Chain A
Amino acid sequence: MSKKVLFGLLTMMLVFALILVGCGEQDTPQAEEEAAAEEAPAEESVAGGFMIPEVVDGKFNIAMVLIGPHDDGGWSQAHYEGLMYVAENMDNVNTAYVELVPEGADSEQVTRSLARKGFDLIFTTSFGYMDATETVAEEFPDQMFIHVSGYKSNGSNFGNLMGAMEDMKYLAGVIAGARAHQDGQTKMGYMATFPIPEELRLGNAFALGMKEFCPECTMDVRWINTWHDPVIEKEAAASLFDSGAYVVFTGADTPAPADVATERGDVYGITYDWSGSCTAERCLTAPYWNWGSVYLQIAEGTRDGTYTAGWHYFDADSGGLGLYGFMEGQELTPGMQDLDPEVIAYVEETLAQMLAGEFDRFDVFAGPIMDNQGNIVVPEGEKMVQADLDQFPPGAEGLECTYCMYWWADGVTAELPE
């Protein structure tokens, strides 16, 4: 008998479940659409919730295309938090993101799909999205497209955006060099992503900083050919430490150098991109992005019609860059606390000048600069110009360079990428 009762109970549960499912279906499609759109931003904050990238009528709609996961602890998270900053600090705005979008054809489809939905402003945040963004911007002339880290613009609705991270990499180099010098060490390690001008520029800025307090220091380079690969990044950091590096810094997205350094216990790592990335015990510092204020400025300017798309390259005075341990509300990391006060003072002073707009990327790359072959790259009294910073010789069309970014600074023990 009891079996029959149980069976009946199971049947009842099944029927109940079906009724529940049926109820869900009875909502009119119109109501659902609105509900989904309304719910989307709210669900963002709920753990385990999800979001549908869709526009909301009557609001200013902003979308973002990300190369990695929005919580990667690096590049993509920094952008995502910038977007969240805009969502919080701008009234009547709706934001959405699409993560893990591969560069190339896929990014074109995703960007076009966002544009078709009617997003007013679309940020595409990886180098390889450049041509895709350009193509889609041409098809949707009334919407604004901002591409981060490339070198193209159409002067009307397709703009380029990047910041002078070399400022912060230079200061990170100063700290790393001083740390090594004080501990009787001489080797640095650089996990570079791809052999592109940006990675040479950032590596060179670090090497120039390193030499300030550690003339005997050298820097080794490993090409990892990825922006985001937790496993490869850890392996590369370990390999640099194995070859004797005392401080390793990265051009890629995850905090791997600091994590591996903490595992080793007697070396240091420098993370990148995101202000929250420098939490490991052996993390020395982190040059990071603070996209929020820059994005807010662009979003408000786009809504007002005052922002002109072009080559928007911001320095530290925009508030878009940070150096972990030195910004407001931050404390020196354990690795910096016993550094020579002269070094800390130098960093603080230079940083203050940068934030005040008195020291910018062209000061980082001011002559005299020597390369690691003993040649003079930039003579005394000369400075690089923008095309020199982001182009290999001879430079893309319209961006021809004279000094160019195809050299390794004095102290780098690596060959140039072919």
Chain B
Amino acid sequence: MTELSVKPGKKSFFPYRIGLEPRMAQVSSWLPASLSLGAVVVALMIGALILALGGGNPWATYAHIARASFGSLGVLSDTLVKATPLIFIGLACSLAFRMRMWNIGAEGQFYMGAFGASAIVLLPVLPAEAPRWQFLILMAISGMFFGAIWGSLPGLLKAKFNVNEVISTLMLNYIAIAFCNFFIFNVWSEGGFQMSPKFPKNSWLPRLTDYASTVPEFAGLTTHAGFILAVLAAVVVWFILHRSKWGYEIRLVGDNKRAAEYAGIRISRNIVFVMMLSGALAGLAGMSEISGVVHRFQGAISPGYGFTGIIVAWLAKLNPYAVIPVSILFGALILAGREIQPSGIPKMIQGIILVCLIASDFFLRYRVRIRKQVEA
């Protein structure tokens, strides 16, 4: 038993003392979820204090934020649009992290996926008048392919030379963005501007607003088919992790690499394959963003999805299904960030939420015991 707050042998200042015990038994399944929820609540309370100090009414602000993210069909649609790439990347990270492969390179894999998808339209691989299904299938395959290549590089380096994947994936982000910029600035630039020409409509993922002529309520709703694809991807990743032999191997390597090695699991091969699938998922996020939202190849297509996805995966405790609601929460947070100006305050609230969530992990691993101190 550890005693953190009290020095041994000395009497505490307070009549109660707080002791910490590591949790030995399996925690009940509701604890992580309720802890995360509690952490968000605590974070919002701290945020409210800051808002009040900033001279505003925190409750009115929060009510406004909630309305601005979930309050109407229109903003809900915007939230789902923001959540879509986060789901893909959250899944990519969950998969890799489950094997303790710290893929910090989802941002780069996202960009490479966007590049791969754009190349189909811009090279062009398909003529502009090709049917939509051909475009979408080829773009998805190409996006996943380029994402997978970008993921496999650090995977191979790790498997062959034991290069730390945290460093290599992180560095490859910058290379991917520079690589894309080369094409944005030089090869596919439109009239000197840093964007490609707009893609033909039949290379766009279908959006709700495209059906506004039959369902008038859909006008202006930009939620696209990528969201459905992302939910399907979550199911697939869950099945891979929890119902397949390969998933068993991934989890075993993640839990105990040495035991996995003795069990005859080929770790190097798994490292490369997991990084490839992780990269392919992040690449698919890039494809879905390019084809569903941006409709052209340009810079600044990600407000840090690749990094937010890491937080999403962590918060979802690497559970593919939990990635979906967590992504929607973060999508809402990204949206809400626009609702308070200047932009410093919402960023700070997001930061506080993150810190509280990480801190709440502590309570998963330790049990807090409060005991009354015996009066001398």
Residues of chain A whose beta carbon lies under 8 Å from any beta carbon of chain B: 3-4, 7, 21, 24-25, 27, 29, 32-33, 35-36, 39, 43, 46, 48-54, 69-71, 96-106, 108-110, 112-113, 116, 127-128, 131, 139, 194-197, 225, 391-392, 395-396, 417-418
B63 CB contacts on chain A under 8 angstroms: 29, 32-33
Residue in A50, A54, A194, A396 whose CB lies within 8 Å of B194: A194
A43 to B54, CA, bound (A): 10
Whole-angstrom CA separation of A391 from B193 in the bound complex: 10
> Do A98 and B59 contact each other (CB < 8 Å), given the known contacts A52-B64, A54-B64?
no
Q: Are A50 and B342 in contact (CB under 8 A)?
A: yes
Contact A25 B185 (CB under 8 A): no
Contact indicator per residue, chain B 323-366, by CB within 8 Å of chain A (1) or not (0): 00000000000010011111101000000000000000000000
Q: B193, A103: Cβ atoms under 8 Å?
A: no
Which of A3, A109, A127 is within 8 Å of B81, CB to CB? A109
Can you list 13 A-B pairs, Cβ within 8 angstroms, ordered by A?
A4-B15, A21-B48, A24-B58, A48-B54, A50-B51, A51-B342, A52-B61, A53-B338, A53-B339, A71-B342, A103-B298, A104-B301, A110-B338
How far apart are B282's CB and chain A's nearest CB, in angstroms?
Answer: 17
Please state if B341 and A50 are interface contacts (CB–CB under 8 Å).
Answer: yes
Question: B222 at the A/B interface (Cβ < 8 Å)?
Answer: yes
Of B63, B74, B191, B303, most A-chain CB atoms within 10 Å: B191
Out of B193, B338, B339, which one reaches A194, CB within 8 Å? B193
Give the top 7 A-B pairs by smallest Cβ distance, nearest first.
A32-B60, A36-B60, A102-B300, A105-B293, A49-B55, A196-B192, A51-B341
B342 contacts A109, C-beta separation under 8 Å: no
With both beta carbons as reference points, the residue of chain B lying nearest to A69 in the complex is identified as B342
**Which of B45, B193, B296 counts the most A-chain CB atoms under 10 A from its CB?**
B193
The docked-state distance in angstroms from the alpha carbon of A396 to that of B220 is 28
Number of interface residues of B (CB under 8 A): 53
Considering only CB atoms, which chain B residue lies closest to A110 in the complex? Answer: B338
Which residue of chain A is the closest to B12 with respect to CB atoms? A3
Does B37 sit at the interface, judged by CB under 8 A? no
- How far is it, in angstroms, between the C-alpha of A96 and the C-alpha of B64 when the chains are bound? 15
- Given A3-B14, A3-B15, A7-B15: A48 touches B55 (CB 8 Å cut-off): yes
**Contact: A98 with B298, CB < 8 Å?**
no
Interface centre among B59, B82, B340 (most CB of A within 10 A): B59
Asked if B57 is at the interface of the complex by the 8 Å CB criterion, the answer is: yes
Q: Which residues of A contact B64 (CB under 8 A)?
A: 33, 36, 52, 54
11 more A-B contacts (CB under 8 A) besides A131-B198, A139-B219? A24-B57, A32-B60, A32-B63, A48-B54, A52-B61, A99-B341, A104-B195, A105-B289, A109-B78, A110-B338, A127-B193
Q: A67 to nearest B CB, angstroms?
A: 10
The residue in A35, A46, A106 that gathers the most chain B C-beta atoms within 10 A of its C-beta is: A106
Query: Chain B's nearest CB lies how many Å from the CB of A367?
Result: 23
Q: How many A-B residue contacts, CB cutoff 8 Å?
A: 141
Q: Say yes or no for B262: interface residue by CB 8 A criterion.
A: no
- Inter-subunit contact B55/A43 (CB<8 Å): yes
Seen from chain B, the residues whose Cβ lies within 8 Å of a Cβ on chain A are 13-15, 45, 48, 51, 53-61, 63-64, 68, 72, 74-75, 78, 81-82, 181, 185-186, 191-195, 198, 219-220, 222, 289, 293-294, 296, 298-301, 303, 335, 338-343, 345
Report the nearest A residue to B64, measured CB to CB.
A52
Whether A36 and B57, one on each chain, are in contact in the complex, defined by CB atoms closer than 8 angstroms, is yes
| Min CB–CB distance A257 → chain B (angstroms) | 23
Q: Which residues of B contact A27 (CB under 8 A)?
A: 59-60
Report the nearest A residue to B190, measured CB to CB: A396
Contact assessment for B192 and A106 in the assembled complex, using a CB-CB cutoff below 8 Å: no
- Is there an interface contact between B60 and A33, defined as CB atoms closer than 8 Å? yes
A252 to chain B: closest CB distance in Å?
14
Set of chain A residues within 8 Å of B335, measured between Cβ atoms? 109, 113
What A residues does B81 contact at CB under 8 A? 109
**In the assembled complex, how far is the CB of residue A353 from the closest CB belonging to chain B, in whole angstroms?**
31
The answer to whether A49 and B59 have CB atoms under 8 Å apart is: no
Alpha-carbon gap, A48 to B58, bound state (A): 14
Determine if A99 and B343 form an interchain contact, defined as CB atoms under 8 angstroms apart.
Answer: yes
Residues of B within 8 A of A98 (CB): 338, 341
- Tell me the smallest distance from the CB of B196 to a CB of chain A, in Å: 11
Query: Which residues of the other chain, B, contact A116 by a CB distance below 8 angstroms?
Result: 72, 74-75, 220
A387 to B344, CA, bound (A): 40
CA distance A7 to B192 in the complex (A): 69
Of all chain A residues, the one with the shortest Cβ separation from B58 is A24
Of chain A, the residue at the smallest CB distance from B187 is: A418
C-alpha spacing A4/B338, complex, angstroms: 47
With a CB–CB cut-off of 8 A, which chain A residues contact B48? 21
Contact A225 B303 (CB under 8 A): no
Residue of B78, B335, B338 most packed against chain A (CB within 10 A): B338
From A25, A32, A70, A396, give the contact of B342 (CB < 8 A): A70
How far, in Å, is B275 (CB) from chain A's closest CB? 28
Contact between A113 and B15 (Cβ–Cβ < 8 Å)?
no
Cα of A105 to Cα of B295 in the assembled complex, Å: 9
| A46 and B14 contact, CB distance less than 8 A | no
Residue of A nearest to B341 (CB): A51
B359 to chain A, nearest CB (A): 20
A181 to B340, CA, bound (A): 50
Shortest C-beta distance, A268 to chain B (Å), equals: 29
A39-B298 contact in complex given A51-B340, A109-B222, A116-B74, C-beta closer than 8 Å: no
